[in-house]
Structure 1
Amino acid sequence: MEGEIFNFIKVWLSVFVCLSYCYTISKKVSKGLSRLLCVLPVVCLFLFLPLDLHSIHLGGVTAFFIAWLANFKLLLFAFGKGPLCSDPSISLGHFLALACFPIKIQQSTPPKPQNTSSKVNPFPLESQNGHIKENPPQKPIEKPKNPPLSHLNGQNKENPTSKKTQEGHISLLNYAVKGVLLAILACLYDYSDHMHPKVLLILYCFHIYFLLEFILAIVATLARVLLGMELEPQFKEPYLSTSLQDFWGKRWNLMVTNMLRITVYNPTRHALVTRGINKKWAPLIAVFTTFVVSGFMHELIFYYLGRLSPTWEVTWFFLLHGLCLVVELFLKAVVFTGGWQLPRLISGPLAIGFVFVTSFWLFFPPFLRFKADVRAFEEYALLGEFLKNVTRALI
C-alpha cells in the first residue's frame, strides 16, 4: 500500500510539472501546429503514467483524469479552444485544476439591464436650443403599500442567495442519503454468496454510480474551497432518465459528455456539413462517431485497470448505445414530429432497463474478468489497515 501511494504521489507530481510547462508555453507559443508539437510529448507521457499504478481506485481515477480528460483538453488547448483557453488571464492554479480534474466552471448569467426610465436623471442639467437649464425635479417613486406575496413570512423568491443555499442543502441531503445507501451496499456484499448473479450486478451498477459521484463531488468541493470556483454538477440523477438521449446527454457524467461534444461531436458535425452532407444526417453521424470514440477511451481505461488484452466488449457496448440513440433521434425528428412521446412511467423504465441489460451483457463481463470487485474490497481492507497504522504512529 505504501509503495502504491508513493507511486501515486510521483505520478501526480509529474502531471503538475507537465501542466505547468503547458501553461508556460501558452504565453510564448501561438496556437496551432507549433503549440501542438509542444504539447504532444505531454499527451504521450499522460498515456504512460497510469501504467505505474496498479490499484483499482488510484489507478482508475488517475487514468480517467489524465489519459482521457487532460489529454482531450490539451489537444483543444493546442488549437486555442476548450476550457484551458476560455480565459486568457487564467492563473496557474486554475489552469492546473481545469486541466487534470473533471470540473467545469459554472457560467454566471449576466445581470439583466435595469430599466432606468423611472429613475432620476443622474445628469441634472440638460441642453435645449443651446441654453442650459435645470431639469425639473422628478417625483420620487412611491413603493406599494402592500408588499408582494413573495416577501410574506420573510421569504423572497427573487433572492439568489437563498435559492443557492436551498440547493446546497438539497445537495448535502442527497449525498448523505447516497452515502447511507453505499454503506448498505457494502454490508450486502457480505451475503453475495447467497445472491443471484444478476442481483449482484445490479448492486455493482449502483456502487459504480455512487462511487463516481462521490469522487467527482470531492474533487469539485476541493476546487471550490481552494480555488473559489463555482462548478457545475457532474450527475443529475441518471436513474430518472426518460430516454437514452436524456441519460447520456443530460444526466450521466456530464463532464465527459461536454468534453466529447467539444472534441468529437462539434468538429465531426461541422466537417460533414462543410462537405455537403445533409444537415439532418450530419448530427446523427456525429453522435455515432462520438460513441465510437467513447468506446475506445473506455476500452483504454479498462486496460489500465486490468492489464488484460482488450476483448472489445466495452467498445461494442458504446457502439450499441450510439446506434440506438441515433435511431431514437431519427424517430423523434422524422416520425414523431408532432411532439408525441411515451408517458414517463413507460419511457423511464425502458431506458434504464436497456442500460442495465446491455451493461450485464457487454460492460460487466470484462469488468469481472480482471476481478475488479475482489480487488476493490481488498483495497478497502488495505486502506483501513494503513489508516490504523498511521493513527497508531501518531498517537
Structure 2
Amino acid sequence: MEGDVTYVMRYWMEGEINTFIKVWISAYLSLCYCYFAGKMLPKGHRRLAAFLPVMALFPLLPLQLHSLHLGGITSFFLAWLTTFKLLLFAFDQGPLSIPSISLPRFLAVACLPIKLIQPSKSRENGKIHSEKGHKSFLNYAIKALLFALIIKSYDYEDHIHPRIIMVMYCFHIYLSLEIILAIAAAMARGLLGAELEPQFNEPYLSTSLQDFWGRRWNLMVTRILRPTVYLPVLDWSSSILGREWAALPAVMATFIVSGLMHELIFYQLGRVKPTWEITWFFVLHGACLMVEIVVKKAVNGRWRLPRLIGTILSIGLVMVTGSWLFFPQLLRCKADERGLAELAAIGTFVKDIVRALNFTVNTYISFS
C-alpha cells in the first residue's frame, strides 16, 4: 500500500494536475468557440454541425487523465453533461440558450450543474439560504463524518463481509458526490452569484423506483436526459401508442442512454473493455420502472404500499442489482484501490503543506 500511495502521490502531483489543467483549458477554449458560433449561426442543423467537432472532442479529453477522481469528474461533466447541453443549445433549448448570457457564465453553466439567480429573486434566495444555512451545515457535517468513518472502515476490509462492503460502496459514492457538489455550490454562489442545482434529495427515503430515479437520485442526469431523450421519444411514441402509454418506450430509451453513457465513463475510468453489465443494470431498472408505471395505472390510486415497505423494496432492489451488475464493474477497474490510494495521497500532500507552513512560521518567529 505504501508503494501504491507513493506512486499515486508522484503521478498525481507531478503530472496529473498539469494534465487536468490542460484538459480543462482545451474544454473552455472549445466552449468559447461554441459560444460565438451560437451567436452567429441560427438554431438548427447548421449550428449543430458547427458544434459536432467539439461534441466529438469532449468524450476524448478525459482519456488524457488517469486518476479516478479528476478523470471521473472530467468524464462526467464533459463527456456527458456538457455534450448534452451543447446538443440542446444547437436547437436553442436548455440552460445555455439564455439570450443575454455572458461568456463567463456560459462557460460555467456549460460545465457545471448550476443555474443563474434572477436579480428579482436574489433577496428572496438570500433569505432562504440564511434560514437553511444552519440546517445544511449540520446535514453536511454529519455526512462528512459518515464519509470519514466509511474510509476508515476500509482498513478492516478483510474482516467485513463482502456484501457489507458493497453497501459501504453505495454510501461511499453517494456521500462523496454530496460533499463534492456542496463545495462546488459554495464556490458557484461566491464567484458567480449562481446556485448549484440540488443533485440528491435524500435517496434513501425513496418509496418507489419512480421516486428514486425521477425525484431523488442524481437529479442533474434526470434534468439533462429529460429534454434530450425522454421528451423527444415521448412525442414520437405518442403518435403510435397514444399519450397514455407513450411514457413506457420513453422511460426505456432514457435508461438505455443512461446505461451507454455510464459504460463510456467506466471505460474512461479503467480503460477496460466494456462487458455491458452496466447497460443491463439500467435496462433492468427501466423494465422494472415500466412495470411500476403499468401497475400504478391499473390500481389508479385505489391501493398503495405502506411508505416503509416501499422504501425497503425500492432501495433493496437498487442495492441488490447494484451489487450484481454495477459495482463489480467498478472493481474491475480497481476503483476502490485507486480511490483510496488517491485519498491517501491527498492526505499526505495536505500534511506536507501543514508541516511546511509550521516550519516557515517557526522559522520566522525564531528570527524575529
Alignment TM-score, normalising by the size of structure 2: 0.89
- Which residue does 2:42 correspond to in 1? 30
Q: CA separation in 2, counterparts of 1:383 and 1:38?
A: 40
More helix as a share of residues: 2
Q: CA separation in 1, counterparts of 2:260 and 2:352?
A: 40
- Which residue does 1:315 correspond to in 2? 279
Contact 1:103/1:255 (8 A) holds in 2: no
- Which residue does 2:93 correspond to in 1? 81
> 1:168, CA displacement in angstroms?
2.4
- Which residue does 1:346 correspond to in 2? 309
- Which residue does 1:366 correspond to in 2? 329
Q: Given residue 291 of structure 1, which amino acid in structure 2 is its aligned partner? A: F
Question: Which deviates more from structure 2 when the two are superposed, residues 198-207 or residues 275-284?
Answer: 275-284
Q: Secondary structure at the match of 2:284?
A: helix
1:298-313 matches, within 5 Å, as 298-313=262-277
Contact 1:106/1:232 (8 A) holds in 2: no
Q: Secondary structure at the match of 2:305?
A: coil
Q: CA separation in 1, counterparts of 2:249 and 2:120?
A: 32
1:184-223 matches, within 5 Å, as 184-223=149-188
Judged with a 3 Å threshold, the aligned counterparts in structure 2 of structure 1 residues 105 and 321 are, in CA distance, closer, same or farther, namely farther
Alignment partner of 2:110 out of 99, 102, 124: 99
> 1:106, CA displacement in angstroms?
6.5
> 1:345, CA displacement in angstroms?
1.3
Number of aligned residues: 344
Q: Percent identity?
A: 58
Q: CA separation in 1, counterparts of 2:183 and 2:341?
A: 22
Q: CA separation in 2, counterparts of 1:32 and 1:90?
A: 19
Judged with a 3 Å threshold, the aligned counterparts in structure 2 of structure 1 residues 284 and 66 are, in CA distance, closer, same or farther, namely same
Q: Secondary structure at the match of 1:360?
A: helix
Contact 2:184/2:196 (8 A) holds in 1: no
Alignment TM-score, normalising by the size of structure 1: 0.83
Q: Secondary structure at the match of 1:89?
A: coil
- Which residue does 1:48 correspond to in 2? 60
Larger radius of gyration between Structure 1 and Structure 2: 1
Q: CA separation in 2, counterparts of 1:232 and 1:5?
A: 27
1:158-200: CA deviations, max 9, x gaps?
x986554222221111101100111111111111110000011
Q: Secondary structure at the match of 2:285?
A: helix
User: Runs of 5+ in structure 2 lacking a partner?
Assistant: 1-11, 361-368
> 1:387, CA displacement in angstroms?
3.3
1:1-395 matches, within 5 Å, as 1=12, 2-85=14-97, 87-105=98-116, 163-273=128-238, 275-333=239-297, 335-391=298-354, 395=360
Q: Given residue 375 of structure 1, which amino acid in structure 2 is its aligned partner? A: R
Contact 2:255/2:282 (8 A) holds in 1: yes
Judged with a 3 Å threshold, the aligned counterparts in structure 2 of structure 1 residues 295 and 108 are, in CA distance, closer, same or farther, namely farther
Judged with a 3 Å threshold, the aligned counterparts in structure 2 of structure 1 residues 107 and 294 are, in CA distance, closer, same or farther, namely farther
Judged with a 3 Å threshold, the aligned counterparts in structure 2 of structure 1 residues 255 and 192 are, in CA distance, closer, same or farther, namely same
Contact 1:105/1:232 (8 A) holds in 2: no
Q: CA separation in 2, counterparts of 1:378 and 1:321?
A: 32
> 1:208, CA displacement in angstroms?
0.4
1:81-117: CA deviations, max 9, x gaps?
11100x200011111111011224478998xxxxxxx
> 1:231, CA displacement in angstroms?
3.6
Q: CA separation in 1, counterparts of 2:240 and 2:118?
A: 34
Q: CA separation in 1, counterparts of 2:322 and 2:18?
A: 34
Q: Secondary structure at the match of 1:47?
A: coil
User: Runs of 5+ in structure 1 lacking a partner?
Assistant: 111-158
Contact 2:76/2:265 (8 A) holds in 1: yes
1:298-356: CA deviations, max 9, x gaps?
011100111000000010000000000010011111x2113421010111111110110
> 1:232, CA displacement in angstroms?
2.8
Q: Given residue 5 of structure 1, which amino acid in structure 2 is its aligned partner? A: I
